[in-house]
Structure 1
Amino acid sequence: MARSDFKSRFSGSYFGILWAIIQPLMTILIFWFVFQVGFRAQPISNVPFILWLCAAMIPWNFFADAIINSTGAFTSYSFVVKKMVFKIGLLPLVKVTASFFLNIAFNILLILIYTAYGHFPGVQLISILYFNICLFALITVLAYLISTLNVFFRDTSQIVGILLQFGIWLTPIMWEEGVIPEKFRWLIKLNPIYYVINGYREALIYGKWFFTHPLQTAYFWVIILIIGTIGITFYKRMKSHFADVI
């Protein structure tokens, strides 16, 4: 179902699933051009700006794409939701997995870009795998919450889109967290996606392992547990009403 869902996004278009790669790739190139060429951004941490940017944009693209698509997990499969013999609880996971296919391709591209610049990750690929698991878990627990809410409040998808627009700028993706006074940086770290993006950069650029920050790791998984508990509980209590409102 995830494979079919992924293909259905681009059915009828001439380039098909190539658009799934072209669109986010163009976004990265635009940001690179604006900051590198327009604002003449200097290398960060002794690596080209494009490497520093890609390390954050790749996981963010997966996060944004999966969140947007999973919002309509139940409403887009309304014909399945009304058939109670089907385990509709799998639908958010189908949407997240469909987006994960593209994420695999972009992670391979990221490794190739770093290798081309002479920064092959080596054993740090283990850390990248770990942070992909973290990202998948974060998206999944959020997917159950927002997809259930979207069944009863259809403006959810619009609100999610706006929040993601704010999120890309509030998260240190295009800018370095060093520009924020140190006494306020803890506020940035409250955002769970920061843990993944910072982990990507530290693994690829500094060669740090995923267990370097035990307190941040503990905080991240506690947040996953809290959101997951709320999301699953909300879904279980409301699923019996899905067929009535869809």
Structure 2
Amino acid sequence: MTILMDEARTLWRSRTLVWGLTRREVSARHSGTVLGVLWPYLQPLLTIAAYYLVFDVVFSMRLGEGAPTHAVGAFLIVGALPWMAFCDAISRGMSSLLDAGGLLQKNPLPPVLFVTRTVLASLVVYVPLLLVVAVLYAPSHRFNTAVLIFPVFLALQVLLSLLLGFVLAILAAALRDTVQLVGFLLSVGIYLSPVLFPITMFPEKWRWILWLNPMTALVQGYQEILLRGAWPPLSAWLVTLGWLGLATVLLSVLVSRSRDQLVDWL
């Protein structure tokens, strides 16, 4: 934990630099385009708009008993948007040190700056969209007090994305196969989470597999808050905290063991 506290202090001392790097990262993703800064927001917005149009308007599909809501499009939006945010932050964070390898070899900069820059650049796009979704869903429950927990779950997702992104960035630097493996897991992970279907529709004897996905508990929490206006179940809290604890331990071990070799791996 002492090692991670040192990393946290480094980030705090360099917060101005981190924010500047983050802004430059966001700008680089849409440089040379006509719509500019709107492009990073358009992709997720068009995706969730398509969900709503196809499933709710065109086909009027409905979920059965036990689902947090009957409207399929409304259900998909609440799970798919956090999932897209998680995948974007993890995949970009995992490649952050590889992309900055040349710079790190020439300058003794803390690697944590580059991982944080990349993860935050993704979250700068998705967090405002998630907050807008929360505001749009809140009136259906008369602004129930459970909505106040939504920013807490959002903060937990940001922290988990940062920790896992750093873990995977170090592993990717040591073993390039990590990028391909994690890319595959992210592509199939949406089917092993309650994003596309309620958790109650998954066979009960295989339901434990869903909890191996770090986003299952968070998505379940979002669904309870926004679709039912209820507080997340205790299991969602415990599993999320468990993933945060595991990621913290892994990161602490990896940082301590790779500190003298990381730049050479890049």
2:28 counterpart of 1:5: no
Cα separation, 2, equivalents of 1:229 and 1:51: 36
From 227, 248, 253, give the equivalent of 1:233: 253
Correspondence for 2:93: 70
From 134, 142, 164, give the equivalent of 1:142: 164
Letter aligned with residue 83 of structure 2:
W
SS in 1 for 2:259: helix
Residue 66 of structure 1 contacts residue 139 of structure 1 at CA under 8 Å; is this kept in 2?
A: yes
Residue 144 of structure 1 contacts residue 232 of structure 1 at CA under 8 Å; is this kept in 2?
A: no
Residue 195 of structure 1 contacts residue 216 of structure 1 at CA under 8 Å; is this kept in 2?
A: yes
**1:113 to partner: Cα distance:** 3.5
Residue 150 of structure 2 contacts residue 225 of structure 2 at CA under 8 Å; is this kept in 1?
A: yes
2:103 counterpart of 1:80: yes
The residue correspondences of 1:1-246 to structure 2 (distance < 5 A) are 1-36=21-56, 40-42=60-62, 45-46=68-69, 48-114=71-137, 118-119=140-141, 121-210=143-232, 212-213=233-234, 215-246=235-266
Letter aligned with residue 154 of structure 1:
R
Residue 96 of structure 1 contacts residue 139 of structure 1 at CA under 8 Å; is this kept in 2?
A: yes
**Coordinate RMSD, CA, aligned:** 2.4
Unaligned ranges ≥5, structure 2: 1-20
**1:37 to partner: Cα distance:** 5.9
Residue 56 of structure 2 contacts residue 71 of structure 2 at CA under 8 Å; is this kept in 1?
A: no
Residue 217 of structure 2 contacts residue 239 of structure 2 at CA under 8 Å; is this kept in 1?
A: no
Question: Structure 1 residues 219 and 48, CA, compared in 2 at 3 Å: closer, same or farther?
Answer: closer
**1:83 to partner: Cα distance:** 4.2
Question: Structure 1 residues 30 and 100, CA, compared in 2 at 3 Å: closer, same or farther?
Answer: same
- The count of corresponding residues between Structure 1 and Structure 2 is 243
Cα separation, 1, equivalents of 2:252 and 2:54: 41
**1:199 to partner: Cα distance:** 0.3
Cα separation, 2, equivalents of 1:92 and 1:56: 25
Divergent runs of 4+, >6 A: none
- CA distances 1:4-25 after superposition (whole Å, capped 9, x unpaired): 1121112122222222111122
Moved more, 169-178 or 147-156: 147-156
- CA distances 1:44-82 after superposition (whole Å, capped 9, x unpaired): 545533322211112111101101110111111224312
Greater percentage in helix: 2
- CA distances 1:196-220 after superposition (whole Å, capped 9, x unpaired): 101001011222224x41x442332
Residue 2 of structure 1 contacts residue 98 of structure 1 at CA under 8 Å; is this kept in 2?
A: yes
Question: Structure 1 residues 128 and 216, CA, compared in 2 at 3 Å: closer, same or farther?
Answer: closer
Unaligned ranges ≥5, structure 1: none
Cα separation, 1, equivalents of 2:133 and 2:121: 19
Cα separation, 2, equivalents of 1:69 and 1:46: 33
Task: Report % sequence identity.
Answer: 26
Cα separation, 2, equivalents of 1:206 and 1:56: 14
**1:236 to partner: Cα distance:** 3.0
**1:120 to partner: Cα distance:** 5.8
Correspondence for 2:10: none
- CA distances 1:94-119 after superposition (whole Å, capped 9, x unpaired): 2111111112221233134326x745
Question: Structure 1 residues 148 and 120, CA, compared in 2 at 3 Å: closer, same or farther?
Answer: farther
Question: Structure 1 residues 188 and 80, CA, compared in 2 at 3 Å: closer, same or farther?
Answer: same
TM-score (norm 2): 0.80
**1:232 to partner: Cα distance:** 2.9
Residue 58 of structure 1 contacts residue 110 of structure 1 at CA under 8 Å; is this kept in 2?
A: no
Cα separation, 2, equivalents of 1:232 and 1:202: 33
